Amino acid sequence: MTFARAFAPATVANVGVGFDILGMAVQGAGDTVEVEMRAEPGVVIESIVGDGGRLPLDPEKNTAAVAANAVLKQIGAGQGVIIRLHKGLPLNSGLGSSAASGVAAAVAVNALFGSLLPKVALLSACLEGEARVSGYHADNAGPSLLGGITLITGTDITQIYHLPVPEDLELALVTPAVDVPTAQARAVLPKSISLHQMVEQTAAVARLVDALYRGDIAAMGAAMEQDRVVEPARAHLMPFLGEVRIAAKEAGACGLVISGAGPTLCAICNSPHIAARVAQRMKEVYDEQGIVSSVQHTRVDRYGAQVELLEA
């Protein structure tokens, strides 16, 4: 019997100033989904591992199942699928965990039915899953699906832009053991901003995009930290954000931002050994405060979700 197995990487959404429009895929951890056909229509979740029993098996409430169902509808499949979800990403951590599950499920279902849709056409299905749990935003699902650093202004191919990844860009990520549900982190945001804030924010996004095109990691770090809207509203949800930023900079980071809705923090660096040192220093800040944390130093994943067809 044939089944499909897909892997979707973690993502750093927003990249600081680009709230809901910028995101980057990250090498290393991600979620894996296996799907096989069933004769009856619809989606059944057979198992979820790696979530500590926290995710619902109800296909109406599970990101992966919602995305899988959306692809089945998109391709007009008469049959359904059985899903096995392997969570490699912690929940509510700011690493795009729910998006990765949806992306892996969508890509796996598409492959199982003969890859009728190009990858990019799966984005809207992935977002149906994401919207069910954390609100409608594409800055995790887009880069997890497509890889690289992406500017996402809509779900159509004409609204997705691949930005250049600076050659020497290295990432240091720290995830403290603190739960920050995305819905809660979105609820604390201001409903409107002043014209002055709008000008500052658009200027910072423009500087960030310019820095990427020039491959200037120092300028990238400076621009991405210029968020005067979202980070100030959320900072109280991220323990010791200021202290970790100072420690990361002292260890050589070019900049540090909240990854997505947090609490993971992402520092950017221009060499692997600096990124390793920055990761270590960030962890020490949490250690000193008695907060358990995990760290990794990694790079941008340029490829996004990957899938293979296998025989059982």
**Residues of the shown chain interacting with ligand HSE in the complex, contacts defined by CB under 6 A:** 13-14, 19-20, 96, 137, 139-140, 182, 185-186, 260-261
Q: Which of 36, 128, 130, 225 is catalytic?
A: 130
> Is 130 among the residues known to form the active site?
yes
Minimum CB separation of residue 135 from ligand HSE in Å reads 7
Which one, 197 or 271, has the nearer CB to ligand HSE?
197
Which one, 251 or 266, has the nearer CB to ligand HSE?
266
Which one, 147 or 260, has the nearer CB to ligand HSE?
260
Contact between residue 83 and residue 35 where contact means Cβ atoms under 8 Å apart: yes
Q: Which of 11, 150, 155, 182 is catalytic?
A: 182
Q: Which residue is nearest to ligand HSE (CB)?
A: 260
> Is 36 among the residues known to form the active site?
no
Which one, 31 or 139, has the nearer CB to ligand HSE?
139
Minimum CB separation of residue 259 from ligand HSE in Å reads 8
Minimum CB separation of residue 62 from ligand HSE in Å reads 17
Which one, 69 or 134, has the nearer CB to ligand HSE?
134
Q: Burial level of 76, CB count in 10 A (0-12/13-18/19+)?
A: exposed
Minimum CB separation of residue 14 from ligand HSE in Å reads 5
Minimum CB separation of residue 3 from ligand HSE in Å reads 29
- By annotation, the residues acting in catalysis are 130, 182
